[in-house]
Amino acid sequence: MSEQGAPTIESVVEKILELRDRAGEYTRKASEAKDVIDRLEVYLLKRMQDAGLTGMAVMTKEGKYNISQKTSTRIGVADWDIVLKYVLDTGNFALLTKSISSREAKHIMDSGDEVPGVNVFSEMSVSVIKSRASK
Which of 54, 78, 81 lies closest to 68 in space, CA to CA?
54
- Is 42 among the domain residues? yes
What's the number of domains the chain is made of? Answer: 1
Q: State the Cα–Cα distance between residues 49 and 11, nearest whole angstrom.
A: 56
DSSP H or E segment with residue 121 = none
- β-strand partners of 63: 60
- Is 76 among the domain residues? yes
Range of the domain at 94: 9-110
- Is 26 among the domain residues? yes
pTM of structure: 0.57
- Is 102 among the domain residues? yes
The strand pair at 63-68 and 55-60 is best described as: antiparallel
Per-residue pLDDT of the chain in tens (135 residues, 90 and over written 9): 556 789 999 999 999 999 999 999 999 999 999 999 999 999 999 999 999 998 888 888 988 899 998 888 889 899 999 999 999 999 999 999 988 999 999 999 999 999 999 998 888 777 767 677 755
- Is 15 among the domain residues? yes
- Is 4 among the domain residues? no
